[in-house]
Amino acid sequence: MEYLLTRLDEKIVSLKNESKKALVAYLVAGDPNINSTLELMHGFVNSGVDILEVGVPFTDPIAEGPIIQAAHDRALKNNTSLNDIFLLVKEFRKKNTETPIILMGYMNTFLANSQAIKKAHLSGTDAVLIVDVPGESNLEDLGIINKNLASISLIAPTTSEDRITKICDRSSGFIYYVTLRGVTGSSHLDISEAEQSINFIKSKTSLPVFAGFGIKSPDDALNLSKISDGIVIGSSIVQMIHEQSNQKEFKKIYNYLNEMAAAITR
Amino acid sequence: MDNLTNLPNADGFFGEYGGKFVPETLMHALKELDGTYSKLKNKPEFIEEIDQDLVRFVGRPSPLYFAKRLTDHYSGPQIWLKREDLNHTGAHKINNTVGQILLAKAMGKKRIIAETGAGQHGVATATVAARLGLECHIYMGAADVERQSLNVYRIKLLGAEVHAVDSGTATLKDALNEAMRDWVTNIEDTYYIIGSVTGPHPYPMIVRDFNAIVGRELRIQSVEQFSQYPDAIVACVGGGSNAMGIFYPFLEESKVELIGVEAAGSGLMSGKHAAPLNDGEPGILHGAKSYLMQDKNGQVLDTHSISAGLDYPGVGPEHSNLKDSGRANYIAVDDEEVLSSFHLVTKLEGIMPALETAHAFAALEHIAKNYKSDQHIVINVSGRGDKDINTVATMDGISLD
């Protein structure tokens, strides 16, 4: 990784130098429509978001709770494809060349698009997180390895110690720690369990560990940021985007993100 | 030809198909299940317990029955029926649940979940859960709850809770999505009894192994009753568990032709069907790589079939490998052919097949002419048709109210 610093690595180094925790925000591309997604991405960055996680909609997103599932359905009603998302990233990069972008999705949409990973890189994407590809899998067989693109893996409370080691060896960018047993947006946060696991992960890798799934309030954000290098917020934002989508007025979301950003720097 | 019987490999692949494409939270549970199954499957006490249940609770062996009037009707090969419809609860599905519930017990799980399409797997799961006094939740697409209301009521009578799934297409695939989400959430105390040879490794292997009793019995019965192995075995394929169960013990018998029958729905050309092996491309859904009905962007397509049990866009990974290797052939028959076959078999043989099973019978219209009168075809009668009488009446324009 040292010889090819991606935008994501640079961001991680600069956060570390400033002793700052990362705020990662998720949204589904194409919900409510692709133009709003572009506007929201810029708005997120202006509200203190460090890294953008862009959901690639899929018909059968088995790791998602009802809120994000519904967003995938809405995005698919707009026929949002991976190619549309590459164009979205390209458009975003016209005004922002610094904020890292991670595409998060399911393997089948990447399999169906020949050279998806190469196109992702060329569009200005920095990393991919494929939810249904376990971290120790041989990603090269699946065409996912690209030296210009970080490969983010999930580690869950149920991940065994020997697999944590293997996943850490295979990962780049950062480790995404799933804070709970459940789908996205659930509410069974167990901070002490998360702390133990994150400490173990950190004993196995020098990569930063971000925590996500189930973070809703500034308190959740504060508590988790104390034990990790950053937090990921998804369902609560996706819900707000949906609620505001008629008037296309996203101020409420930006205020929320500002609050979350403030919480983790406390 | 490679040895097909020794599959899957340790990573769960049948050739290039199968594997474990699941969210991280499930990986540990799959490994735990794989470990438990490998440890138990050759243990004499475990085998004995399953054998006892299959004989005394399920009513095995199921007969191999000569269908005389059907044979006369086609005036081609001798047609024999493997009577899985006579099993307790009325279908082959119980073979799998009787085995998996013992795995759940061995693993100390207190809560059972399952998905169901036609409701047969839901009934078979609720049945074994009731017998062991375990809490049971069945996920079923809202559209299927509607068209299989009889089975929904049976499941409730057995003490299980039915969760109607409204998301997506509200059919079997969405029920599977929801069951997986439940499993991710309740991973510690919950055992997921997958009902077909689909899903992540080790499920396709486990469900096949528990259904392979059908093929093993047929090896013995065919020799006893007509002094040879069948010339061809025909079975319907949705996820493909009844087909895999009867095919598997014959994979190395290269003279035995294996024919799977998919649901062509309104016709293969219409796009409204559920025949991924005939008209799909390899892809990844529900934890495994296999043939899949999908659009050019990799989005899973809506399916259509008259039978809820076959209304699924994917298929078990082992079938995909059997297709590519040429060991099995897969054809498709449409809803109309199925309905007329349902009536034909009911009237000629006094056996009312499930609409899923009627697909296998409908294949006779296409293939019977290829065989001579001294040849033997076995149809796997995967289930009985009582559950489908509302659908059949509607199709025939008859009101039962």
pLDDT at A266: 65
- Asked if B31 reaches chain A (Cβ–Cβ under 8 Å), the answer is yes
Size of interface A-B (CB pairs under 8 A): 110
Pick the residue from chain B with its C-alpha nearest to A61. Answer: B177
- Asked if B224 reaches chain A (Cβ–Cβ under 8 Å), the answer is no
- Check B20, B93, B173, B323 and give the catalytic one: B93
Q: Residue A55 in contact with residue A105, Cβ under 8 Å?
A: yes
Of B29, B168, B294, the CB nearest to A108: B294
In order, the DSSP letters of B174-198 are HHHHHHHHHHHHTTTTEEE---SS-
Compute CA distances B254 → A90, B1, B16, B68, B168, whole Å: 55, 10, 22, 27, 41
User: Do the chains contact at A134 and B20, CB–CB below 8 Å?
Assistant: yes
Question: Can you tell me the mean pLDDT for A23-31?
Answer: 98
Residue with tokens 């007969």: B63
Which residue would you say has higher pLDDT here, A51 or A115? A51
- Asked if B10 reaches chain A (Cβ–Cβ under 8 Å), the answer is no
pLDDT at A115: 87
Q: Which domains does chain B have, with CATH numbers?
A: 13-53+93-207 (3.40.50.1100), 59-90+212-395 (3.40.50.1100)
**pLDDT digits 0-9 by tens, A93-134:** 999 999 999 999 999 999 998 889 889 999 999 999 999 998
- Asked if B24 reaches chain A (Cβ–Cβ under 8 Å), the answer is yes
- Residues 6+ positions from B82 with CB-CB distance below 8 Å: B62, B64, B214, B217, B218, B221, B246, B378, B379, B380, B381
User: Do the chains contact at A60 and B300, CB–CB below 8 Å?
Assistant: yes
pLDDT at B18: 97
Q: Using a CB-CB distance cutoff of 8 angstroms, which residues of chain B are in contact with residue A135?
A: 24
pLDDT at A198: 96
Pairing label, strands B328-334, B287-292: unpaired
Pick the residue from chain B with its C-alpha nearest to A113. Answer: B297
**The pair of three-digit structure tokens given for residue A225, joined into one six-digit string:** 């940021």
Q: How far is A140 from chain B (nearest CA, A)?
A: 14
8-state DSSP, A147: T
8-state DSSP, A19: T
pLDDT at A50: 98
User: Do the chains contact at B283 and A111, CB–CB below 8 Å?
Assistant: yes
Of B24, B284, B292, the CB nearest to A156: B24
User: Do the chains contact at B300 and A59, CB–CB below 8 Å?
Assistant: yes
Q: Using a CB-CB distance cutoff of 8 angstroms, which residues of chain A are in contact with residue B183?
A: none
Indicate the SS3 state at residue B331. Answer: strand
Which residue would you say has higher pLDDT here, B122 or A172? B122
Q: Residue A23 in contact with residue A49, Cβ under 8 Å?
A: yes
**pLDDT digits 0-9 by tens, A188-230:** 677 888 999 999 999 999 999 999 988 889 999 999 999 999 9
Choosing among A58, A62, A175, A213, which should be mutated to test the B contact, i.e. which has the most B CBs within 10 A?
Answer: A62
C-beta neighbour count of A2 within 10 angstroms: 5
User: Do the chains contact at A63 and B187, CB–CB below 8 Å?
Assistant: no
User: Do the chains contact at B184 and A183, CB–CB below 8 Å?
Assistant: yes
Of A59, A133, A160, the CB nearest to B299: A59
A7-265: CATH superfamily: Aldolase class I (3.20.20.70)
User: Do the chains contact at B24 and A178, CB–CB below 8 Å?
Assistant: yes
- Identify the contact set of chain A against chain B, taking CB-CB distances under 8 A: 58-66, 69, 73, 76, 81-82, 106-113, 131-135, 153-160, 163, 178, 181-183, 186
User: Do the chains contact at B24 and A159, CB–CB below 8 Å?
Assistant: yes
> Catalytic annotation on B365?
no
Pairing label, strands B287-292, B17-21: antiparallel
8-state DSSP, B11: T
User: Do the chains contact at B168 and A82, CB–CB below 8 Å?
Assistant: no
Query: Any idea how long chain A is?
Result: 266
- Residues 6+ positions from B169 with CB-CB distance below 8 Å: B141, B143, B302, B303
- Residues 6+ positions from B62 with CB-CB distance below 8 Å: B82, B83, B84, B86, B87, B214, B217
Residue A1 has pLDDT above 50, yes or no: no
Q: How far is A81 from chain B (nearest CA, A)?
A: 6
Residue with tokens 């180094």: A13
Residue A80 has pLDDT above 60, yes or no: yes
Q: Using a CB-CB distance cutoff of 8 angstroms, which residues of chain B are in contact with residue A182?
A: 25, 184-185
Please give the ipTM for the structure prediction.
0.93
ω into B61 cis (within 30 of 0): yes
pLDDT tens by residue, chain B, 401 residues: 458 999 999 999 999 999 999 999 899 999 999 999 999 999 999 999 999 999 999 999 999 999 999 999 999 999 999 999 999 999 999 999 999 999 999 999 999 999 999 899 999 999 999 999 999 999 999 999 988 899 999 999 999 999 999 988 888 999 999 999 999 889 889 999 999 999 999 999 999 999 999 999 999 999 999 999 999 999 999 999 999 999 999 999 999 999 999 999 999 999 999 999 999 999 999 999 999 999 999 999 999 999 989 999 999 999 999 999 999 999 999 999 999 999 999 999 999 999 999 999 999 999 999 999 999 999 999 999 999 999 999 999 998 87
> Catalytic annotation on B93?
yes
Q: What is the 3-state secondary structure (H, E, C) of A158-172?
A: CCCHHHHHHHHHHCC
d(CA B330, CA B247): 13
Alpha helices in A78-179 (DSSP H): 82-95, 107-112, 116-123, 161-170
Residues 183-222 of B with CB under 8 A from A: 184-188
pLDDT at A138: 66
- Residues 6+ positions from B273 with CB-CB distance below 8 Å: B262, B263, B264, B265, B266, B267, B279, B303, B304, B305, B332, B334
- Check B115, B262, B318, B337 and give the catalytic one: B115
**The pair of three-digit structure tokens given for residue B146, joined into one six-digit string:** 């509607």
Strands in B8-74 per DSSP E = 13-14, 17-21, 64-66
> Catalytic annotation on B115?
yes
pLDDT at A187: 67
d(CA A74, CA B193): 31
C-beta neighbour count of A18 within 10 angstroms: 9
- Would you list the domain boundaries of chain A? 7-265
User: Do the chains contact at B168 and A134, CB–CB below 8 Å?
Assistant: no
Of B22, B27, B187, the CB nearest to A181: B187
In 3-state terms chain A splits into helix, strand, coil percentages (rounded to 5) of 50, 15, 35
